[in-house]
Amino acid sequence: MNYKELLKAKCKRENYEKLMALDNPRLHDFVAKYVEHCNPASLFVRTDSLEDAQYVRNRAKELKEEKSLAIDGHTIHFDGYFDQARDKENTKYLLPPEVSLGPDVNAIDREKGLKEVHEYLKKIMEGKEMFVCFFSLGPTNSEFSIPAVQLTDSAYVAHSEGILYRSGYEEFKRMGASREFFKVVHSAGPLENGVSKNIDERKVYIDLKDHIVYSTNTQYAGNTVGFKKLSLRLAIHKASREGWLAEHMLIMGVHGKGARVTYFTGAFPSACGKTSTSMIEGETIIGDDIAYLKKKDGKVYAVNVECGIFGIIRDVNPKDDPLIWKALNSPGEVIFSNILVTEEGTPYWLGDGREIPERGVNYSGEWFKGKKDAKGNEITHAHKNARYTVSLYALKNCDPKLDDPQGVEIKGIIYGGRDSDTWVPVQESFDWKHGIITKGASLESETTAATLGEEGVRKFNLMSNLDFLSIPLGRYINNNLQFGNTLDNPPSIFSVNYFLKDKEGEYLNAVEDKIIWLKWMERRVHGEVEAIKTPTGYIPQYKDLKKLFKEVLDKNYSEEDYVKQFTLRIPENVAKNERIVEIYRTKVPDAPDILFKVLEEERKRLEVARAEHGDYIAPAVFDKES
């Protein structure tokens, strides 16, 4: 049976005509191949129309994948009890024998993996409806953007994508048959009580050659919404070939003098302040997760791949997150997942600041205080990785340039980790090369006892992108270095650290202080403030921070606090330098020579400063030398 006959047999006339209106035989072949292989009962083709979006929303409730809540437009979705996070163990690259991404990359022989995943997919959609959904990764009609199509039997997944991504049906119409596009094939598999039954057959495979993500027997969005971190891997591979960057970065506008808005990107590992930075009240957000960066006319421009947020809801409360809190408590399209819902349809989650109800329904089913799992462990009223999905357009601080097809010009790049004893709160690198190597490629983050077991373990995570690299580490670092080489005036590169502590273990920064570091960086890139040169980069002068604290927070900032925060801690910085060098020498065989040269130069500067001034050097010492 040729693809037209097959698709006609599975589609109602209207859906068949929608598909055939796209003049793209490769697309038709792809859809037909998996219609034949997965054998759904019917197809729904989603265009950019509001009617099609509403159809998907309705189906999510009809299929009991979502349930309406008390506030209009809000729904709740539950994943399976053991399907609550990204499955790193079973997420693998499909690689031919001659290709290696390094010893720590999870991969499987391509032919073996394709055979295996297709065995799982065989007739997996029997009796179900397949949703054929078209999206644009990035603003539509833009040189940045990548067309993408997902085939899924989950209305919840299709609904989530409709919030997170710009509709791309018309994009496929415009592009014709020649342009490359990303593809995702997903099935939740057989369901039991509304959740994936065969969780032991959960597989997430990434085929770099054909730009396809396969996902089976899972519902959790991080494994199924294939255009997030899974397609970030495809994009990194594509960007490496084409000379641009796909990064795990926020994009935000920091507001300066008059009506000036200066755009920054920023990479932060989990639990290091990424979302809270992008959502600072008074500033504007373009994105909180993934950015595409390209060079134009000697400058860097960036777009947000998404137009929504799939965010961790834990600890979102009205005091610390007023903008998100308002969106989550106002009418509009919001999907909550794996939290507690009361009989009245009110959602509750960990750290929301409210009294926990006595009972309700959560990811474990009917829930009551003191409920335990099969091993005797108490089940919390909401999962620690529970999520919310919301459109950026619903946020008061959404930047008006979110959908600008030209992107926004990037003036600064920020790297931040959870660091109790080494990095100062904010610092500027000497230049692009120094920043990429000593800030981005040296990024570490400490684990916390509350979420990851042992506290204080330092995890190396260059550019906060380590888990998603689809090219060798050395090539990735070289790509970043070369990206800045041809720029007339590369963006300034900064490091930030919101978690510095004193010897007693008390934080030296207040939660709200991060706005001051942003405001200083904004003024710095415009040459409006001077800085003090230290062995590891440029730090602020006290007078500028004192002025900013008063203007922005109406807070008196003491010189004593400044000295505690910005004292250079030589032993800790040398130890970090040695850790990073050891990682690259032992685990990254293709690490570029320039990396070791720059790190060695920094170590020597630290040792010279220690010989002259001791282990802990106050900012005033370097200010005099500057």
Active site residues: 272
Query: Per the structure block, which two tokens stand in for 238?
Result: 């594509």
- For 36-95, the three-class secondary structure string (H helix, E strand, C coil) is HHHCCCEEEEECCCHHHHHHHHHHHHHCCCCEECCCCCEEEECCCCCCCCCCCCCEEEEE
Question: CB-based contacts of 50: which residues, under 8 Å, 6+ apart?
Answer: none
Pair 273, 498: CB distance under 8 Å = yes
Angle at the Cα of 249 from the Cα atoms of 244 and 253, rounded to 5 degrees: 105
Q: Residue 432, by phi and psi: left (phi above 0), alpha (psi -120 to 50) or beta?
A: alpha
Q: From CA 287, how far away is CA 398, in angstroms rounded?
A: 9
The sign of the dihedral angle between the CA atoms of 12, 44, 30, 125 is: negative
Q: Residue 373, by phi and psi: left (phi above 0), alpha (psi -120 to 50) or beta?
A: beta
The SS3 of residue 483 is: helix
Query: Per the structure block, which two tokens stand in for 426?
Result: 């904010």
Per-residue DSSP letter, 426:
E
Q: What does each C-alpha distance from 257 to 262, 263, 408, 523 come to in angstroms?
A: 10, 14, 18, 9
Pairing status of strand 492-496 against strand 408-416: parallel
Question: CB-based contacts of 576: which residues, under 8 Å, 6+ apart?
Answer: 422, 442, 444
